[in-house]
A and B are shown apart, each in its own frame.
Chain A
Amino acid sequence: MWEKLGFDVVQSKDVIATLRVAGKFILKTKRSHGARKLDGEIPRLIRQQMRLGQAEFDAAYDCPLTRNDYVEILRKKGVIP
């Protein structure tokens, strides 16, 4: 999901995903290597770090949301100036 949305993904102790737009770090999120599955609070925490509503996150997870769509959502929310 993150690569499709244009995040840079780095494998460290966690899987770290950072979104850069116009040279600026806009958002940073992560998931644990050890996470067996994304359940409980984890999806909600990732969604919040990505600044997405539930429906938007579902669209990102299920693929219809493109990087351009995502950047546009973040612009509307003021996350990207």
Chain B
Amino acid sequence: MPSKYPLIHTQGAASVRRVGLWSSMGTVAGSSIAYGSSYGQFPSTGGSSHLLDVPIHDPDVPELRAKIAKLEATVAELQNTVDALRFERVVSLASLEDPEFRLRIPISVVIDSSGAQVTAHAIDLEDFGVGETEYEAVDDLRRSLRETYAFLLENESELGPIMVKQLARFRDVLVPA
């Protein structure tokens, strides 16, 4: 079973118990360490034991808990990053399936399936599509790109600076069919 605390090497129940002890001092039964003891002595598991001799004093407990909380937050953040990378990949979109415009060059699209719905994100054009599947998400992106381009053209004289740049990028990649 993967460890919830990958930064701490675990070998069997004794090691797991050590983690539990540190995070809930004084509540672990069956351990040879009791709350208030000056030294943590765990039963030998035959593996590395140098971590077992860390002195634990009462004044250390709040600081240790704070450190553990910080480590847990870091681990959770790393887990989110790993999950995001696991569900993310980049594909090329070569066609808009539009009778009026076509893509002059394929555009990069980031597909993400980490949520309940798949998203297809054209980063350079600042637009995205959503769907139940990758195909649906890419189709939705095509539709959204057509609509966004039409919106930008229709309102060209009223665009703020960000949208002026967005229109310029659309013009770089979209040409009349």
Contacts and interface: CB of A to CB of B under 8 A. Distances in A.
Contacts of A41: 112, 114-115, 119, 121, 128
B128 A45 contact: yes
A28 B147 CA distance: 12
B16 to A, nearest CB: 31
Contacts of A14: 144
B32 interface: no
B119 A27 contact: no
Interface residues of B, number: 25
A42 B160 contact: no
A35 interface: yes
Contacts of B159: 24-25
Interface in B104-127: 112-117, 119, 121, 126
A34 interface: yes
Interface residues of A, number: 28
B23 interface: no
A42 B140 CA distance: 14
B17 interface: no
A25 B158 contact: yes
Interface string B131-142: 000000000100
Contact of A28 (B114, B116, B148): B148
**What is the predominant secondary structure among interface residues of chain B facing chain A?**
mixed
B160 A40 contact: no
B130 interface: yes
Contacts of B128: 41, 45
Interface of A: 13-14, 20-21, 23-28, 30, 32, 34-37, 39-42, 45, 48-49, 51, 78-81
16 contacts: A13-B147, A14-B144, A25-B159, A25-B160, A25-B163, A26-B160, A27-B163, A28-B163, A32-B140, A40-B112, A40-B115, A40-B116, A41-B119, A41-B128, A45-B128, A79-B161
